[in-house]
Structure 1
Amino acid sequence: MKKILLLSDTHSYIDDQILKFVKLADEVWHAGDIGNLKVTDSIKALKPLRAVYGNIDDAVARSEFPLDNRFVLEDVDVWITHIGGYPNRYQQRIREELKTNPPKIFIAGHSHILKVQYDKKLNLLHLNPGAAGNHGFHKIRTMLRFSLEKGDIKDLEIIELATRG
């Protein structure tokens, strides 16, 4: 079993509140718009990190992290990207691959809107953890955590952090 902390859209912001949850996870996944790499460096100092770059990330972040990160963990096929869309409205860049080879979990950030949706057509769980950072229109900073075990997703929780700003 692996305990996962999923966050996105930190926009160069990391604090003790986020790091408290990092310490409780086995792995941390970041769905892009990292901003300053001090964010990912702080996470990597504590736990293994899987991340992608987002549209605000510079060349340094883009050289360290991919646009898409697809992997299998605990027999669960996972795909993380920053701008991915939602069920029935996936981004054109990834739409065909999702249809022909859907993962069990599809993760996107970008919108700053926390959303957990099951896509019945593609038989996948779509996750957007919202925004953990202080930059953007969102009022509450959010993340998700869950466990993966032998092909199953368990114990999905929404984490609400302090209000933005």
Structure 2
Amino acid sequence: MTSAIRHTRIAVLSDTHGLLRPEVIAKIQGVDHILHAGDVGNADFLDQLSAIAPVTAIRGNIDVHSPCADLPATEMVEIAGVTFYLVHSVADLDISPTAAGVRVVISGHSHKPGHDTRNGVLYLNPGSVGPRRFKLPIAMAFVMISEGNITVEPIEFDA
């Protein structure tokens, strides 16, 4: 008897800045977990996201006067055997990911989507799904974990 391979799909968001787009909600249906890398802007969004999947969220530099101010500045979470570290600005990274056993560092702040691997650690900025900033895309990402392998699927929305 062959057992099915378990695939874990994680939605990675950042910089909603008080705008939770309906197309984002539609896109993330069915995910296993949601990671939000700060600048939430409206704590009610976290309840909406929690209705879809478990949420791990941190505060960003705008989350200072609302219930979002109570979110942690950083967070480490293990999902499907992979350790993630969330920090709003990668410039504020306060650990050695390699020494801490972190495989994926999630950040936001710049609104500029991108990912690369350094010293065996994946660094992912999903971009911003909030209000458009400059000419940067409205963007998020999915991280897929399958048998310990990690892949990233960047997503851009027309605005």
- TM-score, normalised via structure 2 length: 0.87
2:86 corresponds to: 80
Structure 2 segments unaligned to the other structure (5+ residues):
1-6
Amino acid at match of 1:147: M
Partner of 1:24: helix, strand, or coil? coil
Q: How many residues align?
A: 152
1:86-165 paired onto structure 2 within 5 Å: 91=92, 94=94, 96-98=95-97, 100-119=99-118, 122-154=119-151, 156-163=152-159
Cα distance in 2 for partners of 1:82, 1:131 equals 12
1:26 corresponds to: 32
State the identity %. Answer: 28
1:40 corresponds to: 46
Amino acid at match of 1:100: A
Deviation at 1:45, TM superposition (A): 2.1
Deviation at 1:81, TM superposition (A): 1.0
User: Displaced runs of 4+ in structure 1, greater than 6 A?
Assistant: none
Cα distance in 2 for partners of 1:131, 1:118 equals 20
Amino acid at match of 2:134: F
1:51 corresponds to: 57
Deviation at 1:61, TM superposition (A): 0.7
Partner of 2:10: helix, strand, or coil? strand
1:11 corresponds to: 17
Cα distance in 2 for partners of 1:29, 1:98 equals 17
Cα distance in 2 for partners of 1:76, 1:149 equals 10
Amino acid at match of 2:154: I
Amino acid at match of 2:110: S
Deviation at 1:7, TM superposition (A): 0.8
2:4 corresponds to: none
Structure 1 segments unaligned to the other structure (5+ residues):
86-90
RMSD: 1.7
Deviations 1:10-64 (A, max 9, x none): 000012101012213111110000001122222112221111110000241121x
Amino acid at match of 2:87: T
1:61 corresponds to: 68
Instruction: Specify whether residues 55 and 25 from structure 1 end up closer, same or farther in structure 2 by C-alpha distance, changes over 3 A only.
Output: same
Amino acid at match of 2:150: I
Deviation at 1:77, TM superposition (A): 1.3
